[in-house]
Structure 1
């Protein structure tokens, strides 16, 4: 039989989603690996969805998004970005932000082009570059605050990078890039004439005093920034797979062609229902921020009280936990973080993602939890992790 393509040998299946499958095989295990909320979208969206089930639309919408959802997106983001977004030429609705990123990378990169990716990174970015034929150039984010070295970043741009991918707020670290950090990226992208591709799906899950600054809002950046986003996290509808790209007309015109042949279009009835969410007022986003601030304080504070070393997230609903002290114990000698996560599911019934799946570097000391769960579930997880904390060297001493 003929050989399969070489590209499929260069990356694995999603480790995040693999951990969900492993978790589901263990009775009573709690999934804190794959980051989806266990609560429903806002009531106005659900009511509209019920109406749409009988009213329609049920057939194809415009390939790059129905008129009303593109208008709603333009109305929502124009004030944020500081320029008037044209819904007819500067927006493309996609099947989730995963497709938005894939379509964007394929639009701006040819095979052999270099794309800068910060490490640790959301696992799709490496695969996006590989599938488009581009070459990822990794620049490390240094714990515990996951900042970057401007000189190392410039060295990456100097290799002739065509684009840089910036996840802000960042999955998996929970880092929120400051205006000063974004300005460094913007200055280098301009100097080396590169695109900036941003993933801003967690824009409304921010913990004060951090604030979200859209890259496209910085002076001179609207012409070279392609913003990928989705409704998944903001409205607790990860299964709806509604994403979008916002950018300059010439880029969106090309991205629409790629999108058309990747998926044709996002689900028409879901677009119709989601329009209601995009019209929600500021109270909704304030309540969302308060909700996740409470969950962060409950879960991350609980982990810290138990003696775990964590990187406090500035945004998102993820937390990175340093398990280096545990892996240094004789009983875990030679164990990888993936093996540790599998062991933790079996022994304590809590699922996490091994940090090595996010790092280009050979890092084997982090795991990632998500805390978009109900308080009772988070409290139960802390009870289980309290038993594991008894193994920590500090407790043993």
Structure 2
């Protein structure tokens, strides 16, 4: 890097550059590749949602929206997305955001000061670490055991003196979900230690087990400590629309809103009308996509079971497998590059934390033929 350019960067930018785990999705120069790397549904956005935006543009919804969100979308969120918790919410509990990413970053910057401590799972989505570094805070990591269980005694010890805990539910990259019993343990730790909790529910609605998805919004004792971030990207195949929302305690929402309005401003009006339509009318199409992801999960599991060198747990949500492979095959960055040369793109485990040094993330948010062929190509690298 040019030294003069480096020297003009802020301390926050330099912290992110020096510590960020985030990497590129593709490696240049590879042809005939199959991507199992991208966390993006391959389905089109439901037609009713597209039609709603086109109609909104034609009707003149081309001007500024209220900072916290248009009433059409806020009301739809209150009616469709959070009413299931049985709790009383109002518009003060809602902030419409520029996708899930802006909601997450605005929350972190709105609540965290330099020197604060944030609890973060390892492995987990890499964006959180960048936001924490931007805020000048530090991280304490915790992990699930080999059986997928949390060490709540260890988390409780780490919570001493911390300010915030961030959870991804269902998990990116492991697909693990948090049960109601586990939520009760988290609620106890949060309330006793005076923590705040940011729960990223980007994959809400994409679970495949017998037990229903349990949102953090539905847990007694958390409401005064909680912000939940959701997005339309995954459930409704709206990644390019950049539309999300926060639900939480009004003081926490207000803090996030101050940050969000500074670097984003209000979300465009027509997209918000489309988002309200998704919540009110696209549930059946979203369920069809979920069922397809379920079939693809089972197909990828069947394919992966033929590779003797790896181990993994069946994901209960999202659309990822988290694979552990022998350390003798090298670190995940090198192995992902080798896989790319073999014609299959995967995400390196190190992007999600130190525990991913010898792990890879595979996405089954693609067609069945790509799953079969991609895993076959990866299998040749892993044997």
What's the TM-score, normalizing by structure 1?
Answer: 0.89
How far, CA to CA, are the matches of 2:37 and 2:59 in structure 1? 37
- State the match for 1:65 in structure 2: 69
Q: Deviations over 1:252-279 (max 9, x none)?
A: 2222111110201223221111211110
Counterpart check, 1:305 vs 2:313: no
8 Å Cα contact 1:304-1:310 kept in structure 2: no
8 Å Cα contact 2:96-2:244 kept in structure 1: yes
Counterpart check, 1:379 vs 2:375: no
Q: Deviations over 1:221-256 (max 9, x none)?
A: 212111111110010111111111111222222221
Residues 213/59 of structure 1: CA separation in 2 closer, same or farther (3 Å cut): same
Residues 25/211 of structure 1: CA separation in 2 closer, same or farther (3 Å cut): farther
- State the match for 1:255 in structure 2: 256
Q: Greater shift after overlay, 149-158 or 74-83?
A: 74-83
Counterpart check, 1:121 vs 2:115: no
Q: Deviations over 1:277-313 (max 9, x none)?
A: 1103754454333111101011122111343422210
Counterpart check, 1:292 vs 2:296: no
Counterpart check, 1:44 vs 2:45: no
How much has 1:386 moved relative to structure 2?
A: 4.4
Q: Deviations over 1:354-395 (max 9, x none)?
A: 11111145x421000101011222232234234445x2xxxx
From 140, 143, 148, the equivalent of 1:140 is 143
How far, CA to CA, are the matches of 1:235 and 1:82 in structure 2? 23
The CA RMSD over aligned residues, in Å, is 2.0
In structure 1, the residue corresponding to 2:281 is in which secondary structure?
coil
Residues 14/163 of structure 1: CA separation in 2 closer, same or farther (3 Å cut): closer
8 Å Cα contact 2:100-2:229 kept in structure 1: yes
Q: Which runs of 5+ in 1 are unaligned?
A: 392-397
In structure 2, the residue corresponding to 1:164 is in which secondary structure?
strand
How much has 1:28 moved relative to structure 2?
A: 1.8
Moved beyond 6 Å, runs of 4+: none
Aligned pairs for 1:67-82 within 5 A: 67-82=71-86
How far, CA to CA, are the matches of 1:383 and 1:162 in structure 2? 45
What's the TM-score, normalizing by structure 2?
Answer: 0.92
- State the match for 1:350 in structure 2: 344
